Amino acid sequence: MQNPGKVSYGSPGVGTPPHLAMEELAILAGGIKWAHIPYKGAAETNTALLGGHIDAAVGASVWAPLVEAGKFRLLATYASSRSSRFPQVPTLIEVGYNMAYPSPIDILGPKGLPRPIIKKLHDAFKNSLNDSEVQVVLRKFDMFVIYLDPEGLEKASQQEFEHIGNVVRKLGLEKK
């Protein structure tokens, strides 16, 4: 807090979960003021960090090969538990910040989709999680499964929307 705005970080864009997560971290850390530099995606963010244009980056785990190559240093993860790929790296919860931002991949359909179709799609997607090729891809991107049925997903999504809405309001980013 001695040098507000001096430390910069890149994200894949304004209002994205990585951007909001960093700003929530700033709030929880007592009001850190850092400079957010939005990019058009993780590739641009990684390039900016490699080139020394920003001090830190936040976003999807496409940075993992750069950590493994020793070009980036992973400081903490936003997950609720440690990464199996980087088990030595603590979560933000472990270092004293009560926050986690999982990277959900939800499957949605149009409003009013008939229940039999929902069930058929749900069962197919749920079964796909056990497919060995799907498991390989999940591990490659350091993703773990948090399975929720349609009702559980709806409840969790509503809670997440409320949480994100609170962060957006605290930051003054809501549309007026």
Residue 119 within any structural domain of the chain: no
Residue 176 has a pLDDT of: 65
Residue 96 within any structural domain of the chain: yes
Residue 70 within any structural domain of the chain: yes
pTM of the complete model beyond 0.85: no
Residue 62 has a pLDDT of: 81
The parent domain of residue 56 ranges over 8-102
CA distances, 77 to each of 58, 60, 64, 92, 99 (Å): 9, 11, 12, 6, 10
Q: How many CB atoms lie within 10 A of CB 35?
A: 13
* Domain harbouring 47, CATH code: 3.40.190.10
**Cβ neighbourhood burial of 142 (10 Å; 0-12, 13-18, 19+):** middle
CA distance 2 to 30: 12
Residue 38 has a pLDDT of: 95
Residue 128 within any structural domain of the chain: no
Residue 34 within any structural domain of the chain: yes
Strand partners, 38: 11
Q: How many domains does the chain have?
A: 1
What are the average pLDDT values for consecutive 10-residue runs of the chain, which has 176 residues?
Answer: 82 89 92 93 93 92 88 92 90 93 80 92 91 87 80 88 87 76
Q: Are 58 and 10 in contact (CB under 8 A)?
A: yes
Residue 75 has a pLDDT of: 94
CA distance 35 to 139: 32
